[in-house]
Structure 1
């Protein structure tokens, strides 16, 4: 007969497993938030995710790119895009360089829907329960995890500071603002690191690797 091994403080499951358990609980709360926010503006979570993805992307995105960023199939992305188009939240435009290339763009109506506020989101409350130092460390940890996933080609390259050609890590002696952004020519600190920056320009692979090594070693 199979007897399930009991977990005790002296015999816990692996740290990796327990962290994944914790992340799954947070993901569940975020899914609840997404459903509530989407429902408030008459959408579903996939449609809301598409609007969020398109915000700040003046050049729009193709269906294939949208599907890759959301981790859904192209037919699923197409169905959601068509539904958003009927609501007037997105529109399709031919590319300027290649008229055969079609991009999906956010409309003013879509932007207005996206700006609809939903108070009391669970994940936001949980993050707010952390002090400033804990929030900063969590942000850095998330940046590291996201980078690992994109280096494994599990997700598309994100518009993070650490992948941007304008980012220069730890070039200033000021411990509060050690990094430099050459796009705005200003120094900034760890807590100001971006996960999705509108002004991001992807650095070449060798530069990204060198930047990451400097960032990681500090």
Structure 2
């Protein structure tokens, strides 16, 4: 067989292969932690992700079409999750949009309580990251943020709201700059999910 990322022999001396294999392991940990929290609260992983997303994002992003893009699932799958959350009285629909066929999703009081109970599912990963020296964490974040941007630019990652893809972002020789905030951007200032994000022209 040709060179494979998942063949231990092909990982020898191939750092890129090792990184991809490592990211796959971490993604498995993320899924396991999410599943455990979902089962403990009688929800599906997607239902938890939808609740958390609604809690922390602009209302105009909280609709079926955007959820499908955000979580890389079909609209029917999102609709099924929304029906389940409505039945559990964790969300409600807002039909105030000009388009009577569409609606926005809002959290109920029970929904906000569920977010508080479930949003810490990834804390075990964060706790291990906090044990890594700050300089190494900064370098790791820099690599991840650049990888996310490049995956989006190639069409593999459909949704991203990172500085690198924003029209307000201005790369410079030493320190990058945000035209909206009118401030220099250091590595730790780069956002992966910016509320003011506006996609720049490709």
Which TM-score band (shorter chain)?
A: 0.7 to 0.9
Map 1:73-84 onto structure 2 (within 5 A): 73-84=74-85
Structure 1 segments unaligned to the other structure (5+ residues): 1-5, 206-218
Instruction: Please list, as runs of the form range in 1=range in 2, the aligned pairs for 1:43-122 lying within 5 A after superposition.
Output: 43-54=43-54, 55-94=56-95, 96-116=97-117, 118=120, 121-122=123-124
SS of aligned partner of 2:59: coil
**Count of equivalent residues:** 194
- The CA deviation at 1:119 is 7.5
Does the CA contact (< 8 Å) of 1:89 and 1:109 recur in 2? yes
Output the CA distance in 2 between the equivalents of 1:119 and 1:64: 26
Q: Distance in 2 between matches of 1:99 and 1:118?
A: 36
Normalising by structure 1, what TM-score? 0.74
| Separation of aligned partners in 1, 2:156 and 2:9 | 34
Counterpart CA distance in 2 for 1:204 and 1:162 is: 12
Please, what TM-score do these two structures have when normalized by structure 2?
0.79
* Separation of aligned partners in 2, 1:41 and 1:133: 37
Q: Report the alpha carbon displacement of residue 24 of structure 1 after superposing the two structures with TM.
A: 1.4
In angstroms, what is the RMSD of aligned CA positions? 2.9
Out of 178, 198, 201, the position equivalent to 1:201 is 198
Structure 2: gaps spanning 5 or more residues = 1-6
Q: 2: distance between equivalents of 1:165 and 1:91?
A: 33
Structure label with greater radius of gyration: 1
CA distance 1:60–1:112, change in 2 (3 Å): farther
1:180 aligns with 2:177: yes
